[in-house]
Amino acid sequence: MNRVFRLYLDRFVIVFIDDILVYSKSEELHVKHLNIVLETLRLHQLYAKFSKCEFWLDQVTFLGHVITAGGVSVDPQKVEAVLNWERPTNVTEIRSFLGLAGYYRRFVQNFSRIAAPLTKLTRKGVRFVWSENCEQSFQELKSRLTSAPILSLPDDSGEYVIYSDASRQGLGCVLMQHGNVIAYASRQLKPHELNYPTHDLELAAIVLALKLWRHYLYGARCQIFTDHKSLKYVFTQPNLNLRQRRWMELIEDYDCTIEYHPGKANVVADALSRNPSVTLSYLRATRVPLLSELRSTGVELSVDEVGTLVASFHVRPAFIDKIRENQPLDPRIEGIKEGMGH
């Protein structure tokens, strides 16, 4: 079937075995696309059973996802299956649960970190012991999957933003476009990667994003933000090891820039993601130092109508503030101001 529709794949047709999905930006285009698909089936003497066809849908369930004009979300039936999943009692049941949960990992930020205690139990030679960490991991994954966000669909503008991060627990990245999240990705470190220096881990997170989302990013403009400042100048480094050179060659295949994103700029996301159910009164009572730090960065906290804690702030490079502070100390600038009558 892929061979039959090869000219139209990823333009307005998606094929999975014998399932065909036709999507369009407008009703007029949809008429043309449907005619092309039906005519193609006729030319190849292929038949679609009318009772199994659906037309002119604003929402469609396809391969475990619910797709609308607003984005992609998890199929509620799959969510119910996850919610009713009983605690695993052996390695086989853990693998089954991780198989279903992993299918929707793009909806869950830091999936690999959350699933780490369960993943360790599936390794060869590890004794099956259901610990408190395993229970927390199991319940956290169920909670995240049953409240998974709606991910946006990318458009044709081709301008993407990636935020990447790395730690000794794993690699993580977020793909965004126009301020909307398209997908999350994460994975645990491999045994040999535990010996990598920090800047290599940060670079590995970037490579993970480029490889995973190649179908979006190749040929498109992309900004990559990392909180490791040295990576901003990685292309100018004279001495790179073989691994770094290999990664540099891969990165050079893309139209991307690597920008420094200071960790302090993530203070809000970091603080709120550690305890997403906190309230403003709870923060006032228990997190006075945190609130002071947020206020110092210009953050405004509020609670919306559904009880979600919302933080908003304007990010401005600290270098601008330093320039403004030191301008009055520069006699040449003061002389220019006096000459202009200021």
Give residue 118's pLDDT. 93
Torsion on CA atoms 275, 141, 21, 59, rounded to nearest 10: -50
pLDDT digits (tens, 9 = 90+) for 88-103: 999 999 998 888 888 8
Is residue 319 pLDDT above 60, yes or no? no
Decide if 313 contacts 300 (C-beta within 8 A). Answer: yes
Give residue 14's pLDDT. 86
Closest CA relative to residue 277, chosen from 144, 101, 97, 131:
144
Give residue 292's pLDDT. 53
Give residue 323's pLDDT. 65
Average pLDDT over residues 248-272: 67
pLDDT digits (tens, 9 = 90+) for 277-298: 444 444 444 444 555 555 555 5
Which of 134-138's residues contact partners 24+ apart within 8 Å by CB, and which partners?
A: 135/87, 138/87, 138/88, 138/97
- What is the reported pTM? 0.57
Average pLDDT over residues 73-83: 80
CA separation (Å) from 150 to 71, 124, 184? Answer: 6, 36, 12
Least trusted range by pLDDT, from 191-205, 239-253, 279-293: 279-293
Is residue 306 pLDDT above 50, yes or no? no
Least trusted range by pLDDT, from 60-69, 126-135, 230-239: 230-239
